[in-house]
Structure 1
Amino acid sequence: MALFSAAAKGDFLKIQSLIDSEDKSEDSGGVDVNCTDASGKTALHIASENGHLQTVKCLTNHGAKVNVVDANLQTSVHLCSKKGHRRVVELLVNGGADIDIGDKDGFTALHIASLEGRLDIVKYLVSKGADLGRLAINYWTPLLIALDGGHLDIAEYLLTEGANINTYGGQLDIAEYLLTEGANINTCGKGGYTALHDASQTGNIGGVEFLTSQGAELDRSNDDGWSALSLASFGGRLDIVKVLVNEGAQLDKCDDTDRTPLSCASQEGHLEVVEYIMNKGADIEIGDKDGLTALHIASFGGHLDIVKHLASHLEVVEYIVNKEAGIDIGNKDGLAALHIASFRGHLDIVKYLVSKGAELDKCDKNDRTPLYCASQKGHLEVAEYIVNKGAGIDIGDKDGLTSFHIASLKGHIEMVKYLVSKGADLERLTNDYGTPIHLALDGGHFDIAEYLLKEGANINTCGKGGCTALHASSQTGNIDRVKFLTSQGAELDRSTDDGWTALSLASFGGHLDIVKVLVNEGVEVDKAPRSGMTPLCLATGGGHLGIVEVLLNVGANIVKVLVSKGAQLDKCDKNDRTPLSYASQEGHLEVVEYIVNKGADIEFGDEDGFTALHRASWEGHFDIVKYLVSKGADLGRLAIDYWTPLLLALDGGHLGIHDYLLKREATKIVKPFIGFEEEYSDYLRSTFGGDAFPSYMPQSSRPYDPYLTNPRDSSISTRKSIKEKTMIISLDEYSIKVLLSPEDLDKAKYITAEALPRIPPDLKLEKDEVVISVGLKLSPPGLQFKTPVEVTVSHSAIFSNPDKAEIVLYTRRTGSDEFSRIVPASDKAARCVVAKNHLTLYIDHFSEWWIISLIRRYFIGKRLICTPYAPLSTSRDIMNSILLIIKDDFCGVKEVVLL
């Protein structure tokens, strides 16, 4: 086959040509790169065996599978490893080849390379994690097969990398062969292990005897400092221990943690090993880096849950003690054997040590007793035994913690109950003035805290600085503890020595959930520490807005504190706004009254000229408006764009405030805002009559067209608002009615409908569109309704068939310059029903709306209403001419002059 021939020759260009062929049949030259010959070999097998690197790259790049096996179950890696083609091996391995696949005899690529003496490939395969101990047929390992092939360099390398002579049974003939061939008997493998280390650890007594007879280094340490004797002692290999000791191994050779073979045997409970090496003179008082002797370690290692070890450990302890070991000798931390046995809960060892005179109240370097150690871990039986033997229950450590304290902190309720029954002091203070109940709460053990309260513990006991448990819990933000303490009657308003309450601490720390709990429990919200800062001051200073809101909602007062501390009443922010401005805007009447009475300037204007009265009028705070007026606030004060408090009230829909201000100024008229003359004058006329303000109200008796009237015509009111009891907004001058449901009225403070007589320049219409009505602006913007609101508007169009009129709507949100074009449909919330002289809109949200007609077959034109005008007298012989100017957007005509 052409592909196999090209692979054998290394003709990768030919292979590329064959692979690129569209037709995969053999007749056309196309091939499958993974097809096999009679021996099961693929093109990749053949190219790999022959070392053709570029051909191998070509095949793998085009999908050749790297782990395909031939009839002998060998992969391409087997074949190139055998032939010594390292670069091909690397390419295949990097391409995902499995180096541990075995052939029909179990040989891996490492076996093959070891057999053929390919050291470089052996090193590469080992670096990639090849299994050094992999067993093939007849238990052949890579090490053994290297020796069989006479490749001593490979054998030595495999040994240094951790190949174990014991893998294949510790055959001494192999070891002898290695030595006769010049191998180094002390060669180290992985982890610094020599052959003697391996043999000692695995219990190969024959190997140990041979290696020691051949001069193996007895006291050589591995990378962790373990000698052959330590390994044998740790494993309980008594026969090997005897051989090593008899050959002169150091009895007290220490590992990297300074543990001796005796310590290793004691840790694992190997009594016979302990007895033997002690009889040979091992030092029983050598301590490790932590000062732990063999006695400490044996005590520590006596696990109660491992019964079979416990008995042997106890025997070890007895043996060492009988050899007159110092029973109360402490390690570097001062811990004696009784401390360790108590901490581990080894009751039998504790009993034996006590029977041998161990000191019951011996303290370590932290002044902790064996009872403290047992209480810390909850070993009740140990505690009962040593207390009954006379141990003191109220001995404190260097921090003042007794056994009772530590048991409470760690949550051992049965231990706590036992110590209480033995007279432990419920109110005993630590050096930090913590009681057992404090510590139980610190640990989250509410069952213990509840038990101690039932036993008579005082929940309000003060610790350091006068802190109670509630203070500490509020300061650290532990909501569960606070809830528990308040439920148990903790004193809410108790102060620390510095005057801090639980609420002050929680507010300062930003613990909103705790503040809510304390407020709900009725805590005093304005109680201040010595600094004079109330909880509200503390929360404000920390930027804890949620807490500020909670405290304000329950009446917290920061103003008096600030003023009493010399705060500037008229201090301005970057926008020239004073505290009075903010208080007036937010409706805080008591604050307004207080700071005004303290001398705040009520006429102080911000950067836009708005005074406190402007702000209160706009926001609708009637009580503050009345108060400021009573204090002489200027009703006619002009701000930016000629805004007065009066017109701000009107613009904000607060008609009650507007009426109040207007009546207060009935004889002191201020010029209305530019652009608001018609609204203002119309409202004055409707309120006080047409002759109330003749000085500036323009008189007009002529009829008007609501569709083409100039918006500066002062006879027209473009805006109306409603409150709760009204359900219809009517702009009669424009024949506009907005019908609202009572349910919708509850959604806003006020609802305003405004007619828009002037077409905005932002309204860009299509060439076949024309405006047929005034615009309509409904506020507040974006207000949504469950059911569409019905709006009736007169229109100026003439339709041959109003039912078939083609209407589009243009709408935009407040503040936006762009309109959206909507085609009304009967199945949508925004739809339009057209009649002869009016139309009805159904909309589901408030915004700005413009009604447009398409100039199509049913649209005839627009109605024009002209009011005839002629002088009262004129000469008959004089030809009078009338100049008529029509301004409209009909059919793109902007201005037509008719004479």
Structure 2
Amino acid sequence: MALFSAAAIGDVQKIQSLIDSEDKSEDSRGVDVNCSDASGKTPLHIASANGHLQTVKCLTNHGAKVNVIDANLQTSVHLCSKKGHLHVVELLVNEGADIKIGDKDGFTALHIASFEGHVDIVKYLVSKGAELERLANDYWTPLHLALNGGHLDLAEYLLTEGANINSCGEGGCTALHAASQTGNIDGVKYLTSQGAEQDKITEDGWTALSLASFRGHLDIVKFLVNEGVEVDKALRNGMTPLCLATEKGHLGIVEVLLNVGANIDDCNRDGLTALHIAASNGHVEIVHHLISKGAHLDKCDKTERTPLFCASQKGHIEIVEYIVNKGAGIEIGNKDGFTALHSASLKGHLDIVKYLVSKGSDLGRLANDYWTPLHLALDGGRLDIAEYLLTEGANINTCGKRGYTALHTASQTGNIDGVKYLTSQGAELDRSTDDGWTALSLASFGGHLDIVKVFVTEGVEVDKALKNGTSPLSLATERGHLGIVEVLLNVGSNIDSCNQVGGTALHNASFKGHLDIVKCLLRKGAQLDKCNNNDRTPLSYASQEGHLEVVEYIVNKGAGIEIGDKDGVTALHIASFKGHLDIVKYLVRKGAQLDICDNNYKTPLSYASQEGHLEVVEYIVNKGAGIEIGDKDGFTALHIASLKGHFDIVKYLVSKGADLWRHANDYWTPSRLAFNGGHLDIHDYLLNREATKIVKPFIGFKEEHYDYLRSTFGSEAFPGLMPQYSRTYDPYLTSPQDSSRSSRKSITEETMIISLDEYSIKVPISPDDVDRAKYITAEALTTIPPDLNLDKDEVIISVGLKLSPPGLQFKTPVEVTVSHSAIFTNPDKAEIVLYTRRTGKIFLLS
């Protein structure tokens, strides 16, 4: 854009020309001097950054806004302060520029000028009221930034103007920290002379001495120790200035610190001393110096590692030799029992291994988990070290952790060269670990085909199983290693061998969904319907895990789809339980019985309803599954879904005509089960559905009652039916005065149930509760008993029940299940109850 180009080169005439030409245009809206580019910069930003004073004047004279911010939240004043254009800064400030605006980092123009070292601009901004103690986003003040930029003159000026010498910036850093970190010796000296706190620590515990020691600023370290600072003041992680200098390899600083009394054996929070750190980092000269000053050779860290261990682990042969020659113990083990030789063997440092062996290190030393250096060399894939250790006399068959030999280790890690070498040296090929793993088992499980081929060629036992009965074939099958499966079968592995739970390779492959292996096993003659100890077939497992392709293949090969396990559970039960709709559909298409029951009389629909698989429920029901089949407890699919809280399934089953009043063996209805399970939404839904049932006219209704029902609830509905029981209502109690004499008696298997189906009445009676009667009969009352006196506001609205013979008496109250309802001319003042009324010595249940 022409205006930006002119601003960049300071072409005032071009800018004026652009403005003048637009002013003369009849339809012009004028040049927008405040337009911005993609980065949010205006022509004024560009001219200010380039120091074109006259251009800036021209733009501001024509309305350029001085406080517009770009994408970095910087104004024109930020840009010219950074570049050192004092006159432009002055002009902009006189035009109203706000010098207190911070950019995206919180830097004001004073911060930027201080960092860049523009003394004249800093002085001008301060004279105009710039904030000396203004904190940027990282808490840096202009003083910090001046020292970070190495501008001591500026720092001195800011301090004379009142800047706080001990103000904390990012992480608690003061100006002295900043000067020490950047190596500004003059700044350190000046700040110290002005009273800066020399031992002040940052949030992480850094002091000025720590920073200088870590950064390698020897002159600052010397100055600070001469000032008497604390030489052992540590970071929060326990690192002292000596440890920090040691870590970075600053020998001169190490010498200075030790000369002024730094504690040579101070530990960080991991227990590492300066000697550990120097040994681990390979700083030979510092190791020499520390030992010459009396550093503890065998001091252990928190994991019981010595400096020798650290040097051996990191491969620093010179340090290992020096420390050992100075008397370090070569057999000291860490918390895992690993010695320096173990560590060097694992990490593959052959030169250190040879040196330690030459110094008498124990080749057969067992770590806490019984690993030897030989095991660790092979675990790390270092055949060269393994060969060396064997030539030096290491026992090839020594058992390590859980009975593992070197061959087990090489086989497990896939080290084919190690396996071949160990085999050639006489390693026991069929040796088992504590859990029964052989080298072949480990290679089969790990998928190391080349190693498996070596072993079968060597004639190992291909069916030698783990202690749990799992053979190499089953292990390879479980992990999906087809090539190994083929090799093992080709050399005669028993295809139907079982583990301790009766599982075969085909069970494993089906469970894991390895279709290619399933095909291979069946081609080789594996038994399709072989059952494990729980009578489960491969089809059962494939259905459980949702492997449709495996299910299809096995079924097409003739697998029995109706075979049940020890609980009578079939593949369709399992697929329904797990919600595998695709497998359910396939099994049904192949003729699986929809209503097949397991040993508990549960159907596939029961399982799908129990687990909340709506799509499976819909499919099975649409295919003709019976929705009223009850299990051993009399629970239908609706009972189960209500109890489990699967609202969507409840709604679906109700829409398909499921019986809302169906009683389970213990008389539970779906709505009661929903309430008992805490699913009040389902409970309310079912009650509302129950209320829509047309109720048989009751004894005692008058025409005005029906008129009320029709006008209030419509011609197709009667008022809502009350639930048979509630948590607070005891149907056994006849009146308050009877409560002390009444008690609930559980119904035994001998209980008789008298049923009047026409009126939905059930009466369970235990023979033990009847005083006398050989036969008991029941009949519905067709008239109101004359001895039953009703109050003015009462009416009999349910069916009465009469038991014979006359004068029949019960030792305890009788439980009656009866559908009931009520209406009232003034429902707001009504109370609906289910009650019994005692008339003489006979219970009449109304």
Q: Which TM bucket (shorter chain)? A: 0.5 to 0.7
- Partner residue of 2:484 out of 395, 400, 415: 415
Taking a change above 3 Å as real, the CA distance of residues 355 and 240 of structure 1, as seen in their structure-2 partners, is same
Report 1:212-611 matches (<5 A): 212-302=291-381, 313-479=382-548, 481-486=550-555, 488-559=557-628, 610-611=693-694
Deviates most, 485-494 or 77-86: 77-86
Quote the residue 2:149 is aligned against: 73
Paired residue secondary structure (1:465): coil
Paired residue secondary structure (1:459): coil
Deviates most, 178-187 or 287-296: 178-187
Taking the aligned partners of 1:566 and 1:539, their CA distance within structure 2 comes to 14
Is structure 2 residue 276 aligned with structure 1 residue 201? no
Taking a change above 3 Å as real, the CA distance of residues 647 and 330 of structure 1, as seen in their structure-2 partners, is same
Taking a change above 3 Å as real, the CA distance of residues 91 and 265 of structure 1, as seen in their structure-2 partners, is closer
- Residues 19-58 of structure 1, C-alpha deviation per residue, up to 9 Å, x if partnerless? xxxx9855999865735696156479979xxxx9x96556
1:198 partner letter: I
Taking the aligned partners of 1:268 and 1:134, their CA distance within structure 2 comes to 33
Q: Report if the CA contact (8 A) 1:360-1:390 is conserved.
A: no
Paired residue secondary structure (1:559): coil
2:411 partner letter: S
Taking a change above 3 Å as real, the CA distance of residues 299 and 118 of structure 1, as seen in their structure-2 partners, is farther
- Residues 698-738 of structure 1, C-alpha deviation per residue, up to 9 Å, x if partnerless? xxxxxxxxxxxxxxxxxxxxxxxxxxxxxxxxxxxxxxxxx
Report 1:35-74 matches (<5 A): 35=110, 39=119, 42=122, 56=132, 69-70=145-146, 73-74=149-150
Paired residue secondary structure (1:504): helix
Paired residue secondary structure (1:329): coil
Paired residue secondary structure (2:404): coil
- Residues 378-420 of structure 1, C-alpha deviation per residue, up to 9 Å, x if partnerless? 1122222222223111011011111111111111111111111
Q: Which protein shows a greater Rg?
A: 1
Gaps of at least 5 residues in structure 1 are 1-22, 303-312, 568-572, 575-581, 593-604, 615-636, 650-899
Report 1:746-825 matches (<5 A): none
Taking the aligned partners of 1:320 and 1:454, their CA distance within structure 2 comes to 47
Is structure 2 residue 146 aligned with structure 1 residue 146? no
User: 1:363 deviation in Å?
Assistant: 0.9
- Residues 432-488 of structure 1, C-alpha deviation per residue, up to 9 Å, x if partnerless? 222112212333322222222222223322222211122123334455544554455
User: 1:294 deviation in Å?
Assistant: 0.7
Taking the aligned partners of 1:474 and 1:584, their CA distance within structure 2 comes to 25
2:524 partner letter: E
Taking a change above 3 Å as real, the CA distance of residues 57 and 371 of structure 1, as seen in their structure-2 partners, is same
1:374 partner letter: A
Paired residue secondary structure (1:316): helix
Deviates most, 222-231 or 393-402: 222-231
Taking a change above 3 Å as real, the CA distance of residues 588 and 391 of structure 1, as seen in their structure-2 partners, is same
Taking the aligned partners of 1:366 and 1:154, their CA distance within structure 2 comes to 58
Quote the residue 2:26 is aligned against: none
Higher strand share: 1
- Partner residue of 2:266 out of 168, 173, 187: 187
Percent identity (aligned): 29
Q: Report if the CA contact (8 A) 1:146-1:155 is conserved.
A: no
1:39 partner letter: V
User: 1:325 deviation in Å?
Assistant: 2.7
Taking the aligned partners of 2:453 and 2:99, their CA distance within structure 1 comes to 85
2:377 partner letter: A
Taking a change above 3 Å as real, the CA distance of residues 235 and 406 of structure 1, as seen in their structure-2 partners, is same
Taking the aligned partners of 2:277 and 2:658, their CA distance within structure 1 comes to 90
- Residues 61-86 of structure 1, C-alpha deviation per residue, up to 9 Å, x if partnerless? 9x997599559824899949998999
TM-score (norm 2): 0.56
Quote the residue 1:93 is aligned against: 170
Q: Report if the CA contact (8 A) 1:609-1:640 is conserved.
A: no
- Residues 282-338 of structure 1, C-alpha deviation per residue, up to 9 Å, x if partnerless? 222333333211111011111xxxxxxxxxx33322332234333222223111111
1:641 partner letter: L
Taking a change above 3 Å as real, the CA distance of residues 96 and 488 of structure 1, as seen in their structure-2 partners, is farther
Quote the residue 1:660 is aligned against: none
Q: Report if the CA contact (8 A) 1:192-1:223 is conserved.
A: yes
Taking a change above 3 Å as real, the CA distance of residues 607 and 414 of structure 1, as seen in their structure-2 partners, is closer
Q: Report if the CA contact (8 A) 1:99-1:108 is conserved.
A: no
Deviates most, 397-406 or 557-566: 557-566
Q: Report if the CA contact (8 A) 1:470-1:502 is conserved.
A: yes
User: 1:564 deviation in Å?
Assistant: 12
Q: Report if the CA contact (8 A) 2:267-2:273 is conserved.
A: yes
Q: Report if the CA contact (8 A) 2:379-2:409 is conserved.
A: yes
Taking a change above 3 Å as real, the CA distance of residues 76 and 257 of structure 1, as seen in their structure-2 partners, is farther
2:277 partner letter: D
User: 1:640 deviation in Å?
Assistant: 7.0
Report 1:14-25 matches (<5 A): 25=93
- Residues 804-859 of structure 1, C-alpha deviation per residue, up to 9 Å, x if partnerless? xxxxxxxxxxxxxxxxxxxxxxxxxxxxxxxxxxxxxxxxxxxxxxxxxxxxxxxx
Report 1:875-894 matches (<5 A): none
Taking the aligned partners of 1:93 and 1:644, their CA distance within structure 2 comes to 76
Taking the aligned partners of 1:484 and 1:478, their CA distance within structure 2 comes to 10
2:462 partner letter: I
Quote the residue 2:49 is aligned against: none
Taking the aligned partners of 2:653 and 2:255, their CA distance within structure 1 comes to 103
Q: Report if the CA contact (8 A) 2:518-2:550 is conserved.
A: no
Q: Report if the CA contact (8 A) 1:72-1:103 is conserved.
A: no
2:303 partner letter: D
TM-score (norm 1): 0.53
Q: Report if the CA contact (8 A) 1:160-1:190 is conserved.
A: no
Taking the aligned partners of 1:27 and 1:646, their CA distance within structure 2 comes to 83
Taking the aligned partners of 2:158 and 2:270, their CA distance within structure 1 comes to 30
Gaps of at least 5 residues in structure 2 are 1-90, 101-107, 637-641, 644-650, 662-687, 698-704, 718-846
Taking the aligned partners of 1:266 and 1:389, their CA distance within structure 2 comes to 28
Taking the aligned partners of 2:713 and 2:95, their CA distance within structure 1 comes to 99
Paired residue secondary structure (2:403): coil
User: 1:255 deviation in Å?
Assistant: 1.9
Q: Report if the CA contact (8 A) 2:477-2:508 is conserved.
A: yes
Taking the aligned partners of 1:495 and 1:331, their CA distance within structure 2 comes to 45
User: 1:93 deviation in Å?
Assistant: 2.6
Q: Report if the CA contact (8 A) 1:44-1:56 is conserved.
A: no
Q: Report if the CA contact (8 A) 2:181-2:215 is conserved.
A: no
2:317 partner letter: L
Quote the residue 2:709 is aligned against: 641
Is structure 2 residue 245 aligned with structure 1 residue 165? yes
